[in-house]
A = this chain, B = another copy of it.
Amino acid sequence: MPRRPPPSRRRAPRQERAQATCDAILTATARVLLKDGYEAASTNRIAQEAGVSVGSLYQYFPSKEGLVTALMEQHRARGLADFEAGLVPLASQPLPVAMRALIRQVIMVKRENPRLHQVLHELMPRMRQWGLSDIYSQRLFRLVRAFLAPRFEELRPRNLDMAVFVLVNAVEALCHTAVTDRPDYLEDESFVEEVAALALGYLRPEPATAAPRRTARERVVRM
């Protein structure tokens, strides 16, 4: 029982001019969102910024909600496509190599336009409230799952779904939080190393507790 089709578009632009208008509006939305945040971003303001009239805005987008949703979708679709494109050549790489590359890519993407990423990120709860299922998260999840599945036997975790949940969310959160709280980390190669260490340390089988016998106490402490 689907609630309603994603109300992000009202009608497809037929003429070339219309497509341009449509794009201008979306771009302006991003700009205004950046400058003023969601609340302060009025549709009139956005239209003005786009150099069109409010009427035109509502010709292509059914509501402010829909407009923002459309922007979000565009953004996430691109992000996901990039991610997938980056993932393909890494399929055959050793895990550590691939992991570092992926993390680096995630950071690069966010570094491109940190404010936009941040703003859209903060918009996500609202989207959920609007009843939009987050198909992009699901696709990302499936992508990572497919990437991990072939090597899962050699890794420590036994619950693939949970492992993907842990990895995806931890990495995403770290990269995102860095944008906001520690932008310097984004430029710091050792940050990539640490995030990779987190991911790889999570997946790596625990060390066969070797030779010299230890008391339980020692074993626990030493880790």
Contacts and interface: CB of A to CB of B under 8 A. Distances in A.
Contact of A37 (B129, B162, B222): B129
Interface string A155-197: 0110100110110011011100110111001000011011101
A217 B95 CA distance: 11
Given A159-B190, A201-B204, A94 B166 contact: no
A23 interface: no
A202 B202 contact: yes
A182 B194 contact: no
A220 B201 contact: no
A122 interface: yes
5 contacts: A154-B222, A159-B194, A166-B174, A166-B194, A169-B177
Given A94-B222, A173-B174, A173-B177, 14 more contacts: A94-B220, A95-B223, A96-B220, A122-B122, A159-B190, A162-B194, A166-B198, A170-B170, A193-B220, A198-B198, A198-B202, A201-B201, A201-B202, A204-B223
A41 B95 CA distance: 48
A5 interface: no
Contacts of A173: 169-170, 172-174, 177
A218 to B, nearest CB: 10
B159 A97 contact: no
A191 B203 CA distance: 14
A125 interface: yes
Interface in A133-151: 137
A11 to B, nearest CB: 12
Contacts of A170: 170, 173-174, 198
